[in-house]
Amino acid sequence: MRHPQDFALAAHQKLTDTRPSAAPEWVISSCNYSPAFAGVRPLRWVEFVNDPPADSSLMRLPKRPALISALFGKPANPRAAAHSRHLEILITRPGHAAHSFRIDLDALRRAAIWALAAVALWLAATFFMAWRQVANGNLQQRADQLAAQAATAQSANARLQAENGAMASHLLALKQRVDSLATTMRGFVQKRAEQFPVEAKNVKNNANQGGIAQPLNASNAPALLIDEVDLIDSRLNLLLPQAHHLASLEAARPMGDPVTGNAPITSDYGLRPNPMGGGVEFHNGIDFGVKAGTPVRATANGVVESAGWKSGYGNCVVIAHPFGYRSLFGHLSKIMVKPGDPITRGQVIALSGNTGRSTGPHLHYTLFYGDKTLDPAAYLLAQR
């Protein structure tokens, strides 16, 4: 069998002389090659896919570059595909021996495929790492944003809890004041009922506490605080009319001395000896021993019911007070009001004197509740 180099030389000679028209199957490709050293003429590469045939005239010039076609081109027939492929490189110079190099194309193709696979893997890994870095950066940024939002929400929640706690404390203090007011009012009513039995009312107060309670927390604070405000408002709506009633009753209840200076009481309420003669009589008021011309003052708010002469009392003023009270001032020397005049507590309505059934200058003072007379002593002491 002839060496492939012999056929390469023959091919070179053939290619330099003529270009054959027949194309043998074992010729894959060729390409122009310029040697790197001076004085060498350009040659052509020829590759044999099998043992070269006996007739070298069957070789032809390929239409594609030899190396690329040899590496990636398909074999011409099954016979060529069944054998390994090699690339024979022949270099000749005039007057010198020819040199040839043989390359295993299958090994070179496998190496090229592995290199391409390595490059593709490197590119994929690089892309993945870059994508992961960008994704991690976005995730970190999103995590930072969520952490900032969580911190803001936590701060707002803490502030709301503090505000709810402060509001609850204020509402509790307000409710305690309202309850204290209610207790004071009940105590005051009870005290007045004891002082003035004619107005007596039974009031009960139980300080014991118990039952089921619901702790205040962030979730139920708004609803409970609103309910507490409504409760306080409801209690105030109940207490305010009562307070107004008590204030009006206090203003209308005749209390205190009708004359200033702690004037002595010369005749008390109840049975007494008849100062105008023998026997015992019922005195329906109190006599204050004062000089004539002493200012006489109203002991409660009201309206003048009558002002003028009255049998037994002489010059007399009667004031009608709300809630059934009336006050009578007798033996006056001068009357300074007329029927229908509104009167306030402490207002001067007359001057004391000695008119009517009297043994000397003094002021007669009588209290009525409805049609019955009252002992003024309790009302005098209540103011004192």
Domains, the chain, with CATH or none: 4-97 (no CATH), 265-383 (2.70.70.10)
- Distance, in Å, from the CA atom of 174 to the CA atom of 302, rounded to the nearest integer, reads 35
Quote the pLDDT of residue 68.
Answer: 61
- Distance, in Å, from the CA atom of 335 to the CA atom of 382, rounded to the nearest integer, reads 27
Q: Which of 42-56, 108-122, 280-294, 319-333 has the lowest mean pLDDT?
A: 42-56
Q: Hey, what's the torsion of the CAs at 128, 129, 132, 138, to 10 degrees? A: -130
Quote the pLDDT of residue 83.
Answer: 63
Please check the confidence at residue 11 and state whether its pLDDT lies above 60.
no
- Distance, in Å, from the CA atom of 68 to the CA atom of 75, rounded to the nearest integer, reads 13
Query: Can you spell out the DSSP letters for 177-244?
Result: HHHHHHHHHHHHHHHHHHH-GGG-----------S------TTTHHHHHHHHHHHHHHHHHHHHHHHH
Q: Are 286 and 365 in contact (CB under 8 A)?
A: yes
Q: Of 182, 179, 161, 159, whose CA–CA distance to 171 is shortest?
A: 179
Where is mean pLDDT largest: 55-64, 235-244, 290-299?
290-299
Taking every pair of Cα atoms in the chain, the longest distance, rounded to a whole number of angstroms, is 189
Give the pLDDT band (50/70/90) at residue 70. low
What size, in residues, is the chain?
Answer: 384
Q: Name residue 369's amino acid.
A: Y
Specify the higher pLDDT residue, 103 or 112.
112
Q: Name the 3-class secondary structure at 273.
A: strand
Q: What is the mean pLDDT of the chain?
A: 76
User: What are the angstrom distances between the C-alpha of 192 and each of 159, 205, 207, 242, 297?
Assistant: 48, 16, 21, 14, 23
- Percent residues over pLDDT 70 in the chain: 71
Residue found by looking up tokens 């001395």 in the block: 257
